[in-house]
Structure 1
């Protein structure tokens, strides 16, 4: 592990920015139509349970990385294989979010720029940030948190001032009952973005006060979930369900609708800055977790030696992960949740916690 510590506020900010990340980019849970915000709420509820699972493992091994305590729980060989699989999982998600970033910029602004060049610029910044360590990442997050909230509050005021919100677009509530909402939550919002907080199992050992981890994590998840519910509710209230479904980036379409006094309009920069901040933090956390985990598994003395080659892997993977943005989003919302998210976010942590419980029970009996 890196010899560094972060405080509770910094952990809170990192989780909050991470959860917003690329979730602001897509029409999250729009399959639930007017009740999309409810699907996000149910996803948040289960996401908190997922956090409590890996927090319980952290409590048992407060000074160990997941790649370390996995070997203690299920044996050196199986634990090493599972830890390696998690590192690959984090690298893959880094590449997916990097592709989100590149596709967004190419669609919105840089139509003639190669995807490789756009992704290269961001991954170089991420490599530099990870090279500086967790403390620099945390301090960067504090600054970006302030900027993001100024943008969010300003944008919300402008949307309200423009008179764009039509609350009737949010009705009827629960028209088809609760089953469609739960279906969307189970297949989407549980895993993205809330279940992805599993990556913070690598970050928690750096917290200077382990007793605050549980409270801070739950508060950060709740605040980010409330913000995502508000964003989707505003999108639907402004655009309506049909346009929100058809829009590739509904939040961008909402912001582009702002028009005040015939001169304040086309505020695309609000959207782009908010997305760049969230995506930057999300990729950085995923990438940092993969680097630290692989460094531990392969007993690398200087973990920084891994940053540049792994950064190149993420860059190349982000360009080859899908042929176009539609295929990329379809994979992320339909295929990946069951193939990767379910086992890595729920199945494996529950299995590890069960083994820990059985070992403790056996020890107590003895």
Structure 2
């Protein structure tokens, strides 16, 4: 029986999907690339991601009850389709390994400096594999549950650090627009919002699929508001230059939050909840990386391959780069090109599908 994902569950997962990595791992990179114009980079990146996703949703709606992996060969031909799907599967497992490596480096650097990286990566990767083995619907339900906890805390953060904010820095948000550098910087971060094209591969699992793009649109707008809020908090607390030098600016914002003498610091609790949201993202990426080759092989159950692909993901995360600095350079300089190429592949299918449809109607 095919699992059905509601539009609300889809929207909540996308919010968690973007917010978890954008605030935790990309905020310092945004400051380093765009400084005070980072808020515009976030807006333009989200717009670019929505444009990429629109094509994928439009393609999926043409054959709502079929998977692209099954009918794509009718559009491109068998062998070209297989090559493109294998490349897409690698993209998802590679992206999952990047996020896993970012999470591992974060935990080692901040909380577990004496723990071997491979041990943390293995534990986190195994947890994600267990979630994938439980099924797609379980992943979406976990995202819905964690959403209210994470965003309930984030929503009150400005009030808890209000006395520490430097309001004079707010003027910089609109006084650094003359050079238009944010347009070039936006290209680097568009693929992170373009990851929403993954809905194409689970389109038949989505209930009321005609409303899919509307759900993606409102959830993206909601996410952008919260990411912008985190950006402004970092800017008003530390300034653009200091935020760019920090590995995790949002963590330093959290450490400004103190509730009475009985609880000096909230960051261990918040990081625990945020880590769970990261695992949700890793899980959905790993699930799709398994789903594609399973469907190419004509199989129906992803569970027998879960731990195999999970081990591949862990191995990639440990050996793709040597350290955090190399990972940051890779994410900024190399990853966007590869990601944009893969995320735009549905455009080819969509154009050919439109051409064939017009010829059949002629």
Shorter chain as denominator, the TM-score bin is over 0.9
Q: String of CA shifts for 1:30-75, please: whole Å, max 9, x gaps.
A: 1211121111011111111111110011111212223223212111
Counterpart CA distance in 1 for 2:50 and 2:35 is: 24
Residue in 2 aligned with 1:88? 90
Distance 1:279 1:174 in 2: 35
Deviation at 1:80, TM superposition (A): 1.2
Q: What corresponds to 1:352 in structure 2?
A: 349
Per the alignment, residue 64 of structure 2 pairs with 62
Q: Kindly state the Cα deviation for residue 77 of structure 1 after the two structures are TM-superposed.
A: 1.3
Structure 1 counterpart of 2:108: 106
- Matched residue of 1:200: which SS? helix
Identify the residue that residue 239 of structure 2 maps to in structure 1.
240
For each residue in 1:299-355, what CA deviation from the matched residue of structure 2 results, as whole angstroms up to 9, or x when unmatched? Answer: 2343211111111100111111110011112101221101x1111112x12222211
Q: Retained in 1: the 8 A contact 2:146–2:273? A: no
Which residue does 1:42 correspond to in 2?
44
Give 1:206 shift.
0.7
Counterparts of residues 1-366 of structure 1 (less than 5 Å): 3-26=2-25, 27-30=28-31, 31-160=33-162, 163-172=163-172, 173-177=174-178, 179-186=180-187, 188-192=188-192, 194-259=193-258, 264-338=263-337, 340-346=338-344, 348-365=345-362
Cα distance between partner residues in 1 of 2:229 and 2:149: 19
Which string of whole-angstrom CA distances, capped at 9 and with x for unpartnered residues, describes residues 211-260 of structure 1?
22111111111111221111111111111111101000010112223356
SS in structure 2 of the partner of residue 29 of structure 1: helix
Contact 1:24 1:251 (C-alpha < 8 Å) held by counterparts: yes
For structure 2, list consecutive stretches of 5 or more residues without a partner in the other structure.
Answer: none
Superposition misfits of 4+ residues, deviation over 4 angstroms: 259-264
| Matched-pair contact (CA < 8 Å) for 1:167–1:237 | yes
Cα pair distance change 1:70/1:307, threshold 3 Å:
same
Q: C-alpha deviations, 1:1-37, integer Å up to 9, x for none?
A: x721111111111111111121112325212111211
CA gap of 1:15–1:256, structure 2 versus 1, over 3 A, is: same
Check whether the contact 1:22–1:275 (CA below 8 A) recurs between aligned residues: no
Q: Is the 8 A contact 1:251 1:271 kept in 2?
A: no
Alpha-carbon displacement from aligned partner over 1:253-295 (angstroms, at most 9, x marks no partner): 1222335666654322254134313311110110011111111
Shift of 1:364: 1.8
With over 3 angstroms needed to count, the CA separation of the structure-2 counterparts of 1:17 and 1:166, relative to structure 1, is same
Q: Assess if the C-alpha contact under 8 Å between 2:29 and 2:244 holds in 1.
A: no
Task: Normalising by structure 1, report the TM-score.
Answer: 0.93
Contact 1:32–1:184 at 8 Å: present in 2 too? yes
Change (3 A) 1:165 1:52: same
Contact 2:37 2:177 in 1 (8 A): no
Give the number of aligned pairs.
358
Contact 2:92 2:285 in 1 (8 A): yes
Is the CA contact 1:34–1:169 (under 8 Å) kept in the aligned structure 2?
no
The Cα RMSD (Å) is 1.7
- Distance of 1:202 and 1:59 partners within structure 2: 12
Q: Is the 8 A contact 1:53 1:349 kept in 2?
A: yes
Residue ranges of structure 1 left out of the alignment (5+ in a row): none
CA contact (8 A) 1:202 1:289 kept: yes
Does the 8 Å contact 1:151/1:274 carry over to 2?
no
